[in-house]
Chain A
């Protein structure tokens, strides 16, 4: 490069810098393409269901379109477009994502939905002891009705709450069933004195067929609905007993130390 050309370029680059420096207080508004949409809000009447569940999705912003898949695949604008409540009649994970011509798409939200086996449909359910009068749920039979409570246990009345060393659920089927595992749908909300059981034992034909333990919590965590799965030796039976054995006392680190914890259950699934 000739020195004169280099000098000329230097001159212009300095000139350019002084121009841009003089403009530094000018406001540059942010373009829409800088921002992502928030994820769509998905609500479902029941994440567990016997026949079908109804799912709705929403992101109330002009120009937003929500797309979804039912097979776990990535959601694009070539996926199915949401236009109204979706009816689901098999276990699957719904993935949804919001799109907009001006904004970046949202993160994908995934919602697993579970169709329950009909094995327990005609079972007779008994629970000992009785649920606490403040949290009676809808009675023992509601443990197999597929209707779940929400993490806000004071809303609705699907949760059965207990303060007892042992809660025993017995199921008598109308015909023999092959059992491979059972799932308890329970609530953990240590801040509200609601704890997971210490262990769960499953008896088939009067014999211990499965047992699972959970460690004692060491700090308050967020409220969460949990599925506790207990594998069972593959058994054919027309009756089951499920014993939830609770902690005797709330642990010492907790404000409720020394008193019995609560145990909350809203559903029992036979797999």
Chain B
């Protein structure tokens, strides 16, 4: 993989240190790559968070969040260590979790001053709420009471979002495409979405978040990945509007300040290894696509997007830290660790 090539290059440079000038000259001739568009531009650290895979292995790096202490929490479906916690420089702090074979969605919510994690497991067909150090405090099994499911197998949740009042929304992105709305205790309040024709329905409702950018008017942003769309719903489950992102197979939306960040797992016609990162502005327009072609709007419509640089393979989630640096976790990308993008 690229990472190995890079490590090899830097090892050569370090071991050749004594040889002096030649190596340093070569090093100096390298140009740091800067990716992205407009104000959202980044340098790349491919080496961030790389660990000894014999002891801290990953399969798919599905999602990442930052906790209240500033630590970066990675969720992988490798049951040797489902959760890997780093500091922002990529240094390992701790690992935990061996019982999440289908670890997929990771959402952090602060409740009474304490961090809690909501893990969707699409192999166990349930959502598990844990403390930040891995103690299970609640399990939401498949929503039999919804009347929509005949068996747990049909329910393959991919993501959660937690409202300010503690209500829990779960997207069944690989199952029957319904959105479950629970209260904080886990009582099912509402079910909406599902598969079908029309804007209020989904094909691969892969991600969900609470859009808090308009104060006093929170709403839901839900991905329809196969449709290259992001759909806005009220917290009560009413369809409101659609953000069209042609050519961008977006994973979950992540809100940070005025922007929405979306790992984009495939692009163009949906071919393998064609991912990049999408960043929307406060008007929900694509302003930057690190790794992708320049976003261009013609008559208010985004020209279909595609990959321009082979930096990312299959980005699956983006975590944004307080300096607006990005951490990109990737699915099915040679069991590599996350990539960090430094905002410039």
Contact = CB atoms under 8 A, between A and B. Distances in A.
Is B one of A's binding partners?
A: yes
B182 interface: no
Interface residues of B, number: 32
A55 interface: no
A31 B31 contact: yes
Interface stretch (B115-123, B133-141, B184-192, B308-316): B308-316
A102 B6 contact: no
A102 B45 contact: no
A4 interface: no
Contacts of B6: 30, 34
B17 interface: yes
B14 interface: yes
Contacts of B32: 29-32
A31 B47 contact: no
Contact of A20 (B14, B43, B309): B14
B115 to A, nearest CB: 25
Contacts of A36: 309-310
A31 B309 CA distance: 13
Contacts of A29: 32-33, 43-45, 342
A31 B306 CA distance: 22
Interface in B1-57: 2, 5-6, 10, 14, 17-18, 30-33, 43-48
A192 to B, nearest CB: 14
Given A30-B44, A61-B293, A37 B33 contact: no
Contacts of A60: 293-294, 296, 308
A33 interface: yes
Contact of B310 (A12, A31, A38, A41): A38
Contacts of B306: 38, 41
B309 A37 contact: yes
A16 interface: yes
Contact of A34 (B2, B43, B48): B2
B204 interface: no
A100 to B, nearest CB: 9
Contacts of B89: 25, 27
Interface in A28-70: 28-38, 41, 59-62, 64
A38 B14 contact: no
A61 B294 contact: yes
B309 A61 contact: yes
A96 to B, nearest CB: 14
A103 interface: yes
Query: Which of A20, A62, A64, A103 has most chain B Cβ within 10 Å?
Result: A103
Nearest to A59: B308
6 contacts: A30-B45, A30-B47, A36-B309, A38-B308, A38-B309, A41-B306
Minimum-distance CB pairs A-B, first 5? A31-B30, A32-B33, A29-B32, A60-B293, A61-B308
Given A16-B18, A30-B43, A37-B309, 6 more contacts: A30-B46, A31-B33, A32-B33, A34-B2, A35-B2, A102-B33
